[in-house]
C-alpha cells in the first residue's frame, strides 16, 4: 500500500532520531525534517545531551527554505527553556507554516502547550501519526517522565542448563568473546550499569562500554555514564578494576550506618547510604529513586541472583537481555538467575519475546515486560 507523504517523512524522522541513541538521555531521541514542496530542505537530530534540538538542526540547514515549509518531527517540539531555548520560538520566527509530529511530549512543561502556541501564531499543526512507533522508540523517556524512574533492563548470561555461574561463583566465561563485545556496545545505549559487590569481588570487571563505530569522538566524549555498585558493607577494594577509569562516575550504595573505614576511594567515587530491606538487602527502590534524581534515564542491571531477584520481585524492569552461552556447566543450580516469587505455569506471561540474535555459539533473546506496574 502506498504510504502518505506525512508517513514517509515521519519515518525519516524516526530513523534520524536513532542516531542519538546513548547520547541524549534522559532527553528523548528526536529527528526532524524540513520539507519545501517535494524536497527536503533540511534535516537533523538531537546529537547529544545539552546540544541543539533536532528542530534547530533541521531549520538551520534549511535556512531561508524554512519559510512556508512543513516541519516533520517525531515528538512535540519543546516550548520552554531547558538546556536550550524553546523550539517553538524558532519555528514561528523561521516562517514554518505547518508542523507534523507523532506524539505529544509527556513532560508537563510541554504536553500540548506547544500545539496551542504554534496554532495561536498561525502555524498549522497535525499529530497522532506513527504514535505507537514514536513511543516505542523513546520508551525510556516516557518511563522517566511518567513513572519517575529510569528505564530498566536486566541482563544475565547463563549456560544451556540455566546457571549464571559455576559452583564457585565464577561467571566470566559463560559466553564467547564476541557476545561480550556485543554486550559492551549495548551498554553504550545506557546511562548507567548496576552490579553488586559479589560480581566485583569474583570477576573484577571494568564495566566500561564500547563506542559504536559511527559515533564521532567529540560526541562520545559528551556521553553521561555511571557505574553503580551495591555493596552494603563496603567490601570492595579501592584498587578494583571498576575504578580504573578516572573519567567514569562511580556510585557505591551502602547500608545506613556503614562507616567508610580507612579505604580511600578515587575522587570520582560517591558513596550513598540507604536503608536495608527486611531481608537484609539494600532497599532497591531507594537506590532507583536516587538514580532518578541524578537524571539517569536508562539503567542496565548486570547482577547476580540476589540483585536480579530484587528487581524482579518489585517488577522494576522494562526489558530483559538474556544471553545463552553454548556451554553446559552441570551440577545443581547454586546460582540461578532468580529466586523470586513463584508464578503458576498456567498464568499469562508478563514478558514478550521481541528479538532473537545469534552471536557465534551464543544466543541473545530480548524480552519486553508487557505488564509494567512500577
User: How many other CB atoms sit within 10 Å of the CB of residue 133?
Assistant: 14
Provide the strand spans (E) within 21-69: 31-36, 39-45
β-pairing, 31-36 vs 39-45, is antiparallel
Closest CA to 16 of 367, 204, 197, 24: 24
Distance CA 226, CA 221 (A): 14
* Contact criterion met (CB below 8 Å) for 272 and 260: no
Residue 327 cell numbers, joined = 556451554
Q: What order of strands is seen across the sheet that includes strand 70-75?
A: 39-45, 31-36, 70-75, 98-103, 124-127
What is the C-alpha R_g of the chain?
Answer: 23
* Residue 3 CA to its chain's centroid (Å): 31
Residue 228 cell numbers, joined = 553503580
Distance CA 155, CA 302 (A): 5
Measured between alpha carbons, how far is residue 343 from residues 56, 69, 374 in Å? Answer: 49, 55, 18
Distance CA 364, CA 38 (A): 42
What does the H/E/C string look like for 166-224? CCCCCCCCCCCHHHHHHHHHHHCCCCEEEEEHHHHHHHCCCCCCCCCCCCCHHHHCCCC
User: What 3-state class would DSSP assign to 351?
Assistant: strand
Distance CA 299, CA 282 (A): 17
**Residues sharing a CB contact under 8 Å with residue 118, sequence separation 6 or more, in sequence order:** 77, 88, 91, 92, 99, 125
Distance CA 294, CA 296 (A): 6
Positions annotated as catalytic residues are 55
Amino acid at each position: 500500500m502506498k504510504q502518505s507523504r506525512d508517513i514517509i517523512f515521519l519515518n525519516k524522522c524516526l530513523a534520524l532520531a536513532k542516531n542519538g541513541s546513548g547520547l541524549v538521555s534522559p532527553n528523548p531521541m528526536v529527528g526532524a525534517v524540513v520539507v519545501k514542496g517535494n524536497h527536503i530542505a533540511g534535516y537533523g537530530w538531537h546529537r547529544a545531551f545539552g546540544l541543539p534540538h533536532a528542530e534547530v538542526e533541521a531549520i538551520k540547514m534549511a535556512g531561508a527554505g524554512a519559510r512556508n515549509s512543513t516541519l516533520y518531527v517525531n515528538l512535540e517540539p519543546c516550548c520552554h527553556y531547558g538546556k536550550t531555548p524553546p523550539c517553538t520560538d524558532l519555528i514561528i520566527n523561521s516562517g514554518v507554516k505547518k508542523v507534523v509530529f507523532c506524539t505529544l511530549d509527556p513532560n508537563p512543561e510541554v504536553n500540548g502547550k506547544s500545539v496551542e502556541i504554534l496554532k495561536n501564531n498561525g502555524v498549522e499543526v497535525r499529530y497522532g501519526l506513527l504514535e505507537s512507533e514514536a513511543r516505542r522508540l523513546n520508551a525510556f523517556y516516557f518511563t522517566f517522565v511518567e513513572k519517575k524512574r529510569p528505564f530498566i533492563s536486566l541482563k544475565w548470561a547463563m549456560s544451556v542448563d540455566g546457571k549464571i555461574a559455576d559452583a564457585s561463583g565464577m561467571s566470566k566465561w559463560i559466553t564467547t568473546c564476541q557476545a561480550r563485545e556485543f554486550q559492551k556496545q549495548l551498554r553504550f545505549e545506557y546511562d548507567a550499569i548496576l552490579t553488586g559487590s559479589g560480581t566485583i569481588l569474583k570477576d573484577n570487571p571494568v564495566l566500561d562500554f564500547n563506542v559504536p563505530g559511527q559515533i564521532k569522538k567529540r560526541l562520545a566524549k559528551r556521553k553521561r555514564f555511571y557505574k553503580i555498585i551495591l555493596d552494603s558493607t563496603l567490601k570492595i577494594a579501592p584498587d578494583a578494576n571498576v575504578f580504573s577509569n578516572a573519567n567514569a562516575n562511580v556510585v557505591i550504595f551502602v547500608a545506613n550506618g556503614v562507616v567508610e573505614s580507612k579505604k580511600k576511594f578515587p575522587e570520582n567515587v560517591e558513596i550513598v547510604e540507604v536503608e536495608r530491606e527486611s531481608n537484609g538487602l539494600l532497599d532497591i527502590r531507594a537506590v532507583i529513586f536516587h538514580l532518578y534524581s541524578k537524571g539517569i534515564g536508562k539503567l542496565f542491571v548486570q547482577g547476580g541472583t540476589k540483585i536480579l531477584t530484587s528487581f524482579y520481585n518489585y517488577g522494576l524492569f522494562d526489558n530483559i537481555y538474556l544471553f545463552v552461552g553454548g556451554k553446559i556447566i552441570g551440577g545443581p543450580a547454586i546460582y540461578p538467575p532468580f529466586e523470586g516469587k513463584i508464578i503458576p505455569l498456567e498464568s499469562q506471561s508478563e514478558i514478550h519475546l521481541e528479538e532473537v540474535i545469534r552471536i557465534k555459539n551464543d544466543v541473545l533473546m530480548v524480552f519486553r515486560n508487557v505488564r509494567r506496574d512500577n
